[in-house]
Amino acid sequence: MSQQTQQPRAADIGTIAIDADITLRRMVVHPAESKGTVLLLHGFPESLHAWKGITPALACDYEVHAFDWPGFGRSSRPSVDRFSYSPRAYAQVLKGYIDRAGIDQSTLSIYATDISALPTLLLALAEPTIAKSLTVGDFAPFDRPAYMWENLQALKSKPASDQVRAFMNANREEILANTFFRGLPEGARYEVPREFKDDIARSWDHDGMTSVDAFYHYYSNFTQDQKYFEANLARLSTPVTVVWGGEDLYIKKEMGIELANRIKADLKILPGVGHYPHLQAQNQTIEEIRASFR
C-alpha cells in the first residue's frame, strides 16, 4: 500500500502507569503497516500535543508514541521527596515507558528536544541498545552557561533560580504568548496550534505543582547530570544525530556543534529556525525522523 493511500488510525490518548508514583498521559498512533516505532519527547513548556502536527505524516509508516513528562501536561506531579525531576530521574521514566509500552527497541527511533535530550542520552549511556537511533537537539548537554539564555543560566543556582521561578510562575500568559518565537524576526513567526496552547494552559498547574516548578527542580539537578554525562561521554555508542535551530536564542548552536564534534555525530543546523524546529519546521523534522530509519 502506498504512503499516499495509507490511512493511520486516529491518535489514542490515554494513560500508562510507570510505577506507584508516576502515571503518564500518552498518545499512540498505529499505522496500517509499521516499519518501526517513533517516540517523540517534548520540552518546556510543552506537552504531547506539540507533536500532533507531525504525527499524521509519520503514522503512515511508523507507530508513533509521545507522552507528557512528570510535571507537564496531565502526567503525575509527585512531591520532590518522591521524585526529583532530575534528568537522571527522567531517564528512568523513559526506560519505564519503553518497557511498559512493550516497544521493540531494535526498531525504535527517539526524537528528543530541550529537557528530553539529556535524559535520553543518559539512558543511552546505561543501555546502548535502548533504541536503534537517537535524534537530539536544542538543549544543554554540557555545563556551558555562556551558551545559554540569561534566565536559563540563572536557574542553575540559588538564589537567582528562586527569583526566576517566582517570575516565571507569575507570568504564564507571557510565556505562552512569546516563548515559541523569542529570538526570531517578526517575519519568521509561525502558527502555534490553539489546541496545543490551550492544553498547556489547562495543564499548567495541578496536584500542587506548576510546570515552572517542575522545570525549576529539573534545573536544580541539571549541572551535576551534565557533568556526569560529559565525564562518561566516551561510553556513548548509540547512533545519534544532532539537529539544531540556527537561530536558537535559548541554547546557542555552538552547544550543538560541540556535542556533534565530540561524539562524531551527524549535525544539522537549520537556518532561520529557532528553539522549536518540530513546531516551526515540521516538514524538516519529519524528514529527519524518516532519515533516522535509513
Domain boundaries of the chain, sorted by first residue: 12-291
- Judge whether 48 and 67 are in contact, CB under 8 Å: yes
Angle ∠(294,267,152) on CA atoms, nearest 5: 125
Residue 4 has pLDDT above 70, yes or no: no
Mean pLDDT of 166-177: 96
Q: How far apart are the first and last CA of the chain?
A: 20
Residue 52 has pLDDT above 70, yes or no: yes
Q: pLDDT value at position 1?
A: 39
Q: pLDDT value at position 32?
A: 87
Q: Any idea which of 10-14, 25-29, 143-147 has the lowest mean pLDDT?
A: 10-14
Q: Taking Cα atoms as reference points, which of 227, 225, 218, 223 lies closest to residue 83?
A: 218
Q: Maximum Cα–Cα distance for the chain, whole Å?
A: 59
The CATH architecture one would assign to domain 12-291 is 3-Layer(aba) Sandwich (3.40)
- For 186, which DSSP code? G
Query: Which residues have a Cβ under 8 Å from the Cβ of 146 and sit 6 or more positions away?
Result: none
pLDDT in tens, 218-270: 999 999 999 999 999 999 999 999 999 999 999 999 999 999 999 999 999 99
Coil, strand or helix at 180: coil
- Judge whether 85 and 70 are in contact, CB under 8 Å: yes
Query: Which residues have a Cβ under 8 Å from the Cβ of 154 and sit 6 or more positions away?
Result: 160, 161, 163, 164
CA atoms within 13 A on the CB side of 128: 8
Q: pLDDT value at position 10?
A: 81
Q: pLDDT value at position 48?
A: 98
Q: pLDDT value at position 7?
A: 60
Q: Rounded distance, CA 220 to CA 141, Å?
A: 15
Amino acid at 224: Q
Mean pLDDT of 72-90: 98
Per cent of the chain over pLDDT 90 is 95
Q: Rounded distance, CA 244 to CA 163, Å?
A: 29
Count other C-beta atoms under 10 Å from residue 35's C-beta: 13
Mean pLDDT of 264-283: 97
* Nine cell digits for residue 106: 531494535
Q: Given 3-state DSSP classes, what are the helix, strand and coil percentages for the chain, each rounded to the nearest 5? A: 40, 15, 40
Whole-model pTM: value is 0.96
Mean pLDDT of 96-104: 98
95 burial type by CB count under 10 A (0-12 exposed, 13-18 middle, 19+ buried): middle
Mean pLDDT of 115-123: 98
Q: pLDDT value at position 6?
A: 54
Q: pLDDT value at position 2?
A: 41
Residue 8 has pLDDT above 60, yes or no: no
